[in-house]
Amino acid sequence: MTEPAATMTPHQREADDPHSLVVRFGADNPLHMDAGVDLAPFTVAYQTYGTLNAAKSNAILICHALTGDQHLANQNPVTGKPGWWEIMVGPGKPIDTDCYFIICSNVIGGCMGTTGPASTNPVTGKPYGLELPVVTIRDMVRAQAMLVDHLGIDQLFCVLGGSMGGMQVLQWAALYPQRVFCAMPIATAARHSSQNIAFHEVGRQAVMADPMWAGGRYFEQGTDPSKGLAVARMAAHITYLSDEALHRKFGRKLQNREAPTFSFDADFQIESYLRHQGSSFVERFDANSYLYLTRAMDYFDLASDYGGKLANAFKGTKTRFCVVSFTSDWLFPTSESRAIVHALNAGGASVSFVEVETDKGHDAFLLDEPDLFAATRGFLGSAARARGIA
């Protein structure tokens, strides 16, 4: 057994007993993982919004990013905050729950109810920790496909997501082209760059350098690798913003003081902001999940599965694509999206490309970006007419 519930934090509890819809796949229905292991049993936790129409033709799967979860348009059960994409998804919103049936599942390797390293390993009765096989983007997509099967949906109207979510979108379109009517990869890449692997490795080393991480066995040890995880989050968070946005928001402004203190206190607002990002993150996220999900992104290289030629991943596809990037995103720069567009063109796909002008960096896909909203509404509307969705 894991620790008694009384000592568990809300985010620990969520791993085994989520505030979500849940589908449990048994021994007869294992997840075939790229690591060469069949995972069974396993659980997928998910949320839905809107109503599936009679033809089952209006389902949109939204794939979440590295530290996202399935709670995109409802109050988050751990943080108590609004869903992470309420600005985008809801009645009358760009992804309109009055028209579409939205599915969002926590990814394999996550920590919000889908099987991940914080989940109890039924064989040992203890959290998996590092005993869970390393997961890949394709494993995430396979698990989502099993969920979509479970929901009785043959073809998704759209698969859509940003960042790591965008990787899943591309993987869906490559793996199950006949099941994806249209696809919208946002602020993403078809392979993780060397610089991005480097930033992820820093984050993992920060977690693993924390003695409280205890080789990944911190739940049983009663320790908490929150310091290491906070450092990882701080480093990553810088990459989600842009130099311009940091300058505009914080510049060199001091935090509640008139002059520097000549100390290592958080004199600057940017320091205080980053520390807050670190400390709030560790309250909602599992350190081992952070290792697994960053690793999944590092391993992502779609072309490598198709003889090194990305166009082959999309050859003859009937899926309609809309690829979106942001001018100030240096983590997944526009050049990565252009490479996807070129491959789609070479593969003969129908593709439109939107580069949104913004100074908000990678995080722009989560923020109030009217051009993103307009592109999403327009692309979905046009595809819905083509598919005959009322």
Active site residues: 163, 329, 362
134 touches a second copy by CB under 8 A: yes
330 touches a second copy by CB under 8 A: yes
243 touches a second copy by CB under 8 A: yes
The closest of 262, 88, 75, 53 to 186, measured between CA atoms, is: 88
Of 96 and 298, CB closest to a second copy: 298
**In the chain, alpha helices (H):** 10-16, 137-150, 164-175, 194-209, 218-221, 226-240, 243-249, 269-282, 287-299, 334-346, 370-387
145 touches a second copy by CB under 8 A: no
Cβ contact 234:270 at 8 Å: no
Element (H, E) at 185: strand 180-186
Calculate ∠ Cα 291-297-301, nearest 5°: 145
Instruction: Copy the structure tokens of residue 188.
Output: 């993403």
Residue 122 CA, chain-centre distance (Å), reads 26
Interaction mask 20-49, a second copy, x per CB under 8 A: --------------xxx-------------
Question: Binding residue for a second copy (CB under 8 A) from 187, 291, 313, 372?
Answer: 291
Of 301 and 371, CB closest to a second copy: 301
Question: Binding residue for a second copy (CB under 8 A) from 87, 208, 214, 367?
Answer: 208
211 touches a second copy by CB under 8 A: yes
**Residue 300 burial class via C-beta count within 10 angstroms: exposed 0-12, middle 13-18, buried 19 and up:** buried
- How many CB atoms within 10 Å of residue 263? 7
230 touches a second copy by CB under 8 A: yes
Of 110 and 133, CB closest to a second copy: 133
The Cα 85–Cα 231 span in angstroms is: 25
Q: Which of these ranges, 46-54, 167-175, 181-189, 249-257, lies near a second copy under the rule CB under 8 A?
A: 249-257
Q: Which of these ranges, 11-19, 103-111, 173-181, 229-237, lies near a second copy under the rule CB under 8 A?
A: 229-237
Please give the backbone phi and psi of residue 310, each rounded to the nearest 5 degrees, phi first. Answer: -60, -35
Query: Which positions touch a second copy (CB under 8 A)?
Result: 34-36, 130, 133-134, 191-195, 197-199, 201-202, 204-206, 208-211, 227-228, 230-231, 234-235, 238, 241, 243, 246-247, 249-252, 260, 262-264, 266-268, 270-271, 274-275, 278, 291, 295, 298-299, 301, 330, 333
